[in-house]
Amino acid sequence: MTTQNLRAVQAPLKAKYRHQPDAAMITLYAEGELGEGTSCSVATGRALVAAGLHPATGGDGSLVCSGDMLLQALAACAGVTLQAVAASLGLEVAGRVHAEGDLDFRGTLAVDKDSPVGFQRIRVRFELVSDADDADLETLLRLTERYCVVYQTLAVPPALSVHRVQQDNDGGAPHLP
C-alpha cells in the first residue's frame, strides 16, 4: 500500500474520530465453543480453530495451543502495523516478524505456587530488508511498537474481568444469575 493510498483510506476515519470520539470506541469480541475433553473451538473470522492443551501440560499436540495463538496474534499485529507505518513514512520494507515467549509450565500446572502463570518474557524480532537508513528503521520500529494494538495491550494490560452467565436448559438466551 502506498503512502497516498493509506492516507486516503484513513483520512475520513481520522476526521470522523476527531469530531465524534465515541465512534472510535469499538468492541471487538471472540467466542469459543467448549468441545470434548479439554478443547475449545474458536472462530477466527476466516477459519475455525480448535485449541487444546499444550503438550507440556498434557496435550497430545493435535490441537492449537492458545499461547501460540497469542504469539501469532502479536506477530500478525506487529507485521501489519510495521507495514502501515512504513507506508505512512514512505519506506519500502520486506522481511519477517518473529514473536517468541518464555513460559514456566510449573505455574499453570500448580506444581510450584511461586512460579507465575503465563508468559514471563516475550520478544518480537523483525528481519527487515530495506534501502532505508538506520535512523528511519529505528523510527519505524519505535512507531510500530507504539501503534501495535496487541503489543500495547500486553505492555499496558487492560482491566480484565471474568463473568458467568446461566443458560436456560431449553437452549434459550443466557441470563445473569
- pLDDT at residue 175, as a whole number: 59
How high is the mean pLDDT in each 10-residue block of the chain (177 residues)? Answer: 87 91 83 78 84 90 91 94 94 93 91 91 94 97 97 96 83 60
- pLDDT at residue 97, as a whole number: 94
- pLDDT at residue 167, as a whole number: 77
Q: CATH code at 160?
A: 3.30.300.20
Q: Are 50 and 35 in contact (CB under 8 A)?
A: yes
- pLDDT at residue 174, as a whole number: 64
User: What mean pLDDT is reported for the chain?
Assistant: 89
Q: Are 128 and 137 in contact (CB under 8 A)?
A: yes
Task: Please list the helix, strand and coil fractions of the chain in percent, rounded to the nearest 5, in that order.
Answer: 40, 25, 35
- pLDDT at residue 52, as a whole number: 92
Pairing of strands 64-65, 48-52: parallel
Indicate the number of domains in the chain. 1
- The boundaries of the domain holding residue 116 are 3-175
- pLDDT at residue 176, as a whole number: 57
Q: Are 42 and 30 in contact (CB under 8 A)?
A: yes
